């Protein structure tokens, strides 16, 4: 009798498990084309300090690195933006002395020239880690310090000169000029601190007028704070409550290094004053290299939160590549061995950036299961671009309903999993505005059409 009861309980528990699994596997996704949200400006990563290392690789590896980062016709990141450092502290080491040939500047210029020529990528953000030491109250490029107010006109003129030099050398100019990288962080490398009052004064009275009179098209970005936590109170409202600052600044920006940062929380100050918000730097700082799909899926969730409920317009990883055998780059590279390791995060981020191009418009979407994350846009070209990420432990059979649009006859899926890298799959027919697709556990699928 005991044996019978035990077997009965085992069978019953198994039936309950499989019944619940089956219920969890069927997911409904709704994409509403009438619910249009923010315009997506694109995805990028920084080449600051690492662009020069590209030259240490063989020509074949150099081409592979750039292809993995920018080519949209093959599996890869498909980035649409480059973030470069201005190296102002080295460009203008003393009053009246300028070194445009400084290696940090010229390696960034070479990188921009190559990706523009090879992949048509000419959108770039210019960020400053430290103004010239002679302008700062600590007389140093490093360890923070503040710009002395009597040198605000000099700094504004220097930034404009840098932008003009870059335009003359490249033949195209920066789309975005950032006031300061991480003005809330004193670091043992190039850094500078700003209060919100200092930043408002500098931008309103000096940088914006200088930019306007220069005739350049660059938009101003501020503040590129280190963390999104408490962003509205620390930066958003103190900057944007000033009507003159609102008129001067086009883009509000933050980084994502606070591990408690909640990118699913919209920027209230940005919403109130109708300013787009960008996430311009984030990475995994945990140490030793981790190229797993589990690590990659954390970035799928990060992008999902930022674009959807957070209403961010752009998303950047930190470095394009790291030489430190860690996770600060989309690629892990070693010039000594002329080798490139490709972590899953590059392909996972590419599930978004390769297919959601600048000019795409975010759409309202819902999922009946929280482990199936959906990011949908009206793409810049075509009609459908939907990222479906299964963060759960079981496969999902997903029915996607498209409302408010005339969909194409079919869509083509591309999947990244533990064993696949944006693998193109067989087209799926759309019938009555809907299609059904299977999303394996721990995988990201982008359907386009």
Q: How would you write 185-203 as a 3-class SS string? A: CCCCCECCCCCHHHHHHHH
**Straight-line distance from the first to the last Cα atom of the chain, in angstroms, rounded to the nearest whole number:** 60
- Tokens linked to 219: 């938009």
Give me the pLDDT at residue 259, please.
65
| DSSP class per residue in 38-87 | EEE-EEEEE-TTTGGGGGGS-HHHHHHHHHHHH-SSSSS----EEEEE--
Q: How far is CA 403 from CA 132, 241, 364, 432, 435, in A?
A: 54, 38, 11, 10, 12
* 90-104 tens-digit pLDDT: 999 999 999 999 999
Mean pLDDT throughout 120-124? 98
- Tokens linked to 244: 């003159």
Give me the pLDDT at residue 10, please.
40
Say if residues 373 and 389 touch (Cβ distance below 8 Å).
yes
Number of CB atoms found within 10 A of residue 335's CB: 15
Quote the pTM value. 0.94
165, 1, 201: which is closest to 84 by C-alpha? Answer: 165
The Cα–Cα gap between 112 and 169 comes to 10
Q: How far is CA 63 from CA 30, 57, 75, 436, in A?
A: 40, 9, 14, 38
Between 3.20.20.80, 1.10.3720.10, 1.10.10.10, 3.40.50.720, what CATH number should domain 42-358 receive? 3.20.20.80
* 276-293 tens-digit pLDDT: 999 999 999 999 999 999
Domain boundaries, the chain: 25-37+363-448, 42-358
The Cα–Cα gap between 73 and 77 comes to 10
Give me the pLDDT at residue 153, please.
98
- Quick check: 16 pLDDT over 50? no
Give me the pLDDT at residue 11, please.
41
Q: How far is CA 22 from CA 10, 15, 25, 371, in A?
A: 18, 10, 5, 14
E strands present in 75-134 = 81-85, 124-127
10-31 as b/e: b if 16+ CB within 10 A:
eeeeeeeeeeeeeebbebebbb
* 416-425 tens-digit pLDDT: 999 999 999 9
Give me the pLDDT at residue 57, please.
98
Give me the pLDDT at residue 22, please.
42
Q: What angle do CA 95, 97, 99 make, to 5 degrees?
A: 140
Residue indicated by tokens 């409920």: 309
Say if residues 320 and 57 touch (Cβ distance below 8 Å).
no
Between 2.40.50.140, 3.40.50.2300, 2.60.40.1180, 2.60.40.420, what CATH number should domain 25-37+363-448 receive? 2.60.40.1180
The Cα–Cα gap between 281 and 221 comes to 14
Give me the pLDDT at residue 261, please.
72
Q: Residue 373 pairs with which residues in a beta bridge? A: 389
Residue percentage of the chain with pLDDT more than 70: 94
């Amino acid at each position: 009798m005991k044996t019978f009861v035990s077997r009965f309980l085992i069978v019953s528990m198994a039936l309950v498990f499989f019944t619940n699994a089956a219920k969890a596997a069927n997911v409904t996704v709704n994409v509403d084309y009438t619910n249009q949200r923010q315009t997506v400006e694109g995805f990028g990563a920084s080449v600051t300090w690492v662009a020069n290392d590209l030259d240490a690789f063989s020509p074949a590896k150099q081409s592979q690195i750039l292809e993995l980062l920018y080519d949209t016709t093959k599996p890869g990141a498909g980035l649409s933006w480059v973030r470069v450092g201005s190296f102002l502290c080295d460009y203008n080491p003393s009053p009246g002395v300028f070194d445009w040939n400084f290696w940090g500047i010229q390696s960034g210029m070479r990188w921009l020239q190559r990706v523009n020529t090879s992949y048509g990528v000419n959108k770039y953000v210019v960020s400053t880690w430290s103004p010239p030491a002679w302008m700062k109250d600590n007389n140093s490029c490093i360890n923070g310090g503040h710009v002395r107010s009597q040198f605000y006109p000099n700094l504004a003129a220097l930034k404009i000169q840098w932008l003009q030099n870059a335009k003359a050398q490249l033949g195209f100019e920066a789309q975005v000029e950032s006031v300061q990288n991480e003005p809330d962080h004193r670091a043992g490398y190039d850094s500078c601190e700003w209060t919100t009052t200092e930043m408002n004064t500098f931008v309103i009275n000096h940088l914006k007028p200088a930019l306007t009179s220069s005739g350049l098209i660059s938009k101003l970005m501020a503040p590129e704070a280190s963390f999104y936590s408490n962003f509205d109170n620390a930066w958003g409202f103190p900057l944007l409550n000033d009507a003159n600052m609102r008129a001067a600044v086009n883009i509000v920006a933050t980084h994502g290094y606070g591990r408690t940062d909640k990118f699913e929380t919209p920027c209230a100050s940005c919403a109130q004053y109708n300013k787009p918000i960008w996430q311009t730097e984030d990475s995994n700082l945990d140490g030793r290299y981790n190229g797993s799909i589990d690590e990659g899926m954390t970035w799928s969730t990060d992008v999902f939160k930022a674009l959807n409920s957070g209403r961010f317009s752009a998303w950047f990883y930190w470095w394009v590549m790291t030489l430190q055998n860690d996770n600060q780059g989309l690629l892990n590279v070693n010039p000594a061995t002329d080798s490139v390791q490709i972590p899953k995060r590059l392909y996972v981020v590419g599930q978004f950036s390769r297919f959601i191009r600048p000019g795409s418009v975010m759409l309202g979407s819902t999922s009946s299961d929280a482990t199936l994350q959906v990011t949908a846009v009206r793409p810049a070209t075509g009609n459908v671009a939907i990222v479906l990420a299964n963060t759960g432990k079981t496969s999902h059979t997903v029915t996607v309903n498209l409302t408010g649009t005339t969909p194409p006859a079919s869509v083509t899926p591309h999947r990244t999993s533990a064993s696949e890298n944006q693998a193109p799959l067989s087209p799926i027919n759309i019938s009555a505005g809907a299609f059904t697709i299977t999303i394996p556990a721990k995988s990201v699928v982008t359907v386009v059409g």
